Amino acid sequence: MDGMNRTQFELLVIAVLLSSLMLVTGLYLLANFNRLFRRSIKNELLRKNVVVWLAAICCIMTTVPTTPLFYEAIGQNKLPVFYLFECCAATVEGLFVFNISLVMLKYVRRRTSFRTRMVIMLLTIIISIMLISIPMNYFGNAYLGKGPSFVNIEFTLLYSFYTGCLVGFIYVTMSYVDLERTRKLNEKELEVSRLQQLKTKAELDALHSKINPHFLYNALNSIADLAITDGKKARKMTIALADLFRYSINSSDHNYSTIKEELEMSAVYLEIEKIRFEDQLNYSIHLDKDLSHYLIPRFLLQPVVENAVKHGLKATGKMTEIDITVKNGSDGLQILIADNGPAFPDELTPGYGVRSIYDKLDLLFPGNYEIHFTNRPEKMVTLNIHKLIKDESAI
């Protein structure tokens, strides 16, 4: 222990142990830079500056035993003053370098590749640390009784360059790790989204596959009856049925149809039933022209229309009037299907057809629709779709 008494040696050992502790703390702060103090500090810029300030002090505490001024401070018994100054210097240098780098990062982020951006940021960190260390060296000698002066300026610049390289390397490493984490997260989100789309398509295909045989069953029964009594009507119904299934097959890869297409297919279905029951069914369709190209789930209207026929005309055998209106509502698209059949029961239990409407809207318009069944002032099913999707390709 030449030139150093026992007390000074003990101070050196304590300083080295403190440096080791500060190194671990600093690495923890840098590794959790984006997560620390989120709940306690709401302002993001202020929160990041606080983390940088703490990390800068830890870095200074880690490296001070390697500086000549540290040993001069021990020799003059001014170690507490030395540490106080170094903390102040770390605060000024850390916040200066961080905010300069933050401004530079915002400028180059959208204009350069990741590699070029990292080179620019590395140079920015090194240069800014060297620039701020010069005035800190000038004023830092005062507490050792030397007065403001440039002492060991060559060492200061070399030390600043080394520190800048170290900090820049840490920044580049963290940025690369964050980039990889973001890329993997995006890949996982894309995969989850793709699987969700496949699941949605499978569920919708299952709904369509159950509805289409129901169409076929009713229509073929009607054609079979008419083939004996009226061949022309049977032919007309067969052509209508072909149009209906052509629509179903051509749209099999799509979950949506335009309102215009859905109304046309509803008209085809009603025409089939009108042919079958002759003058016992009348229907009318009203559509605001500016709504023709908006999209709704495929086969959304058919179950409601079919129920109107089933519970009206087929159940009562009386003249059934069905009116379909599509218009702009106060909160999106409004579809009204009214008929003069028996009123809805007070405790309505949806059958498969009505349940399929809920299922389709849950899948394609989650949280953006309402369905109402009313008996007054007239019997009516009202579909409100709050989210409007336009078929741009058809415009």
Does residue 211 register a pLDDT over 90? no
Q: What pLDDT score does 148 carry?
A: 53
**Cβ atoms of residues 242 and 215 within 8 Å:** no
Predicted confidence at residue 327, as pLDDT, reads 92
Q: Is residue 157 part of a domain?
A: no
Contacts of 19 (CB under 8 A, 6+ apart): 61, 62, 63, 64, 65
Instruction: Choose one of 151, 180, 205: the last residue of a domain.
Output: 151
Residue 171 domain flag: no
Q: Is the per-residue pLDDT at 241 higher than 70?
A: yes
Pair 215, 111 in one domain: no
Partners of 372 in the β-ladder: 382
Residues 243 and 307 in one domain: yes
Mean pLDDT, range 6-15, rounded to an integer: 66
- Does 165 reside within a domain? no
Q: Are residues 206 and 287 in the same domain?
A: yes
Domain shared by 120 and 197, yes or no: no
| 82 and 205 together in one domain | no
Domain end point (choices 151, 171, 204): 151
Q: 357-361: which pairs have CB atoms within 8 A and are 24 or more residues apart?
A: 357/300, 357/303, 357/304, 357/383, 359/203, 359/207, 360/204, 360/207, 360/297, 360/298, 360/299, 360/300, 361/297, 361/300, 361/385
Asked if residue 35 belongs to a domain, the reply is yes
CB 124 within 8 A of CB 100: yes
Residue 328, domain member (yes or no): yes
- For residue 324, what pLDDT is reported? 94
Question: Do 121 and 57 share a domain, yes or no?
Answer: yes
Angstrom distance (rounded) from CA 123 to CA 130: 11
- How many domains are contained in the chain? 2
pLDDT at 36 over 60: yes
pLDDT reported for residue 219: 74
Among the three residues 98, 121, 151, which one is the final residue of a domain in this structure? 151
Please check whether residue 101 is in contact with residue 118, taking contact to mean a CB–CB distance below 8 angstroms.
no
Pairwise CA distance, residues 93 & 104, whole Å: 16
In the chain, what percentage of residues exceed pLDDT 70?
Answer: 76
Lowest mean pLDDT among 112-116, 231-235, 295-299: 112-116
pLDDT level of residue 66 (50, 70, 90 thresholds):
low
Question: Which pLDDT value is given to residue 395?
Answer: 45
Report CA-CA distances (Å) from 387 to 113, 173, 213, 286, 394.
38, 44, 30, 21, 19
Q: Is residue 266 part of a domain?
A: yes
Higher pLDDT residue, 388 or 66? 388
285, 303, 312, 293: which is closest to 361 by C-alpha? Answer: 303
Residues 138 and 202 grouped into a single domain: no
In a domain, 173, yes or no: no
End-to-end CA distance of the chain, in Å?
Answer: 89
CATH of the domain at 246: 3.30.565.10
pLDDT digits (tens, 9 = 90+) for 126-184: 888 787 777 776 666 555 555 555 556 677 777 778 777 877 787 778 777 777 877 88
| Number of Cβ within a 10 Å radius of residue 27 | 15
* pLDDT given for residue 59 in this prediction: 73
Q: Which of 178-187, 266-275, 323-332, 338-347 shows the lowest per-residue confidence on average (mean pLDDT)?
A: 178-187
Is 240 within a domain? yes
Mean pLDDT score across all residues of the chain: 77
User: Can you give the pTM of this predicted structure?
Assistant: 0.49
Range of the domain at 319: 191-394
HEC string of the chain equals CCCCCHHHHHHHHHHHHHHHHHHHHHHHHHHCCCCCCCCCCCCHHHHHHHHHHHHHHHHHHHHHHHCHHHHHHHHCCCHHHHHHHHHHHHHHHHHHHHHHHHHHHHHHCCCCCHHHHHHHHHHHHHHHHHHHHHHHHHHHCHHHCCCCCCCCHHHHHHHHHHHHHHHHHHHHHHHHHHHHHHHHHHHHHHHHHHHHHHHHHHHHHHHHHHHHHHHHHHHHHHHHHHHHHCHHHHHHHHHHHHHHHHHHHHCCCCCEEEHHHHHHHHHHHHHHHHHHHHHHEEEEEEECHHHCCEEEECCCCHHHHHHHHHHHHHHHCCCEEEEEEEEEECCEEEEEEEECCCCCCCCCCCCHHHHHHHHHHHHHCCCCEEEEEECCCCCEEEEEECCCCECHHHC
> Which tens digit of pLDDT belongs to each residue from 282-334?
899 999 878 888 899 888 888 888 888 877 776 666 788 899 999 988 888 99
**266 and 144, same structural domain?**
no
pLDDT digits (tens, 9 = 90+) for 355-377: 888 888 888 888 899 999 998 88
pLDDT of residue 337 exceeding 90, the answer is: yes
Residue 382 clears pLDDT 80, i.e. is over it: yes
One domain, residues 143 and 278:
no
Question: Where is pLDDT greater, at 209 or 191?
Answer: 191
- Segment 231-237 mean pLDDT: 84
Place of tokens 């569920």: 203
Query: Judging by beta carbons within 10 Å of its beta carbon (0-12, 13-18, 19+), is residue 351 exposed, middle or buried?
Result: exposed
Co-location of 224 and 364 in the same domain:
yes
What tokens appear for 316 in the block? Answer: 């009562």
Whether 141 and 245 map to the same domain: the answer is no
Determine how many CB atoms are found less than 10 A away from the CB of residue 113.
9
87 & 199 share domain = no
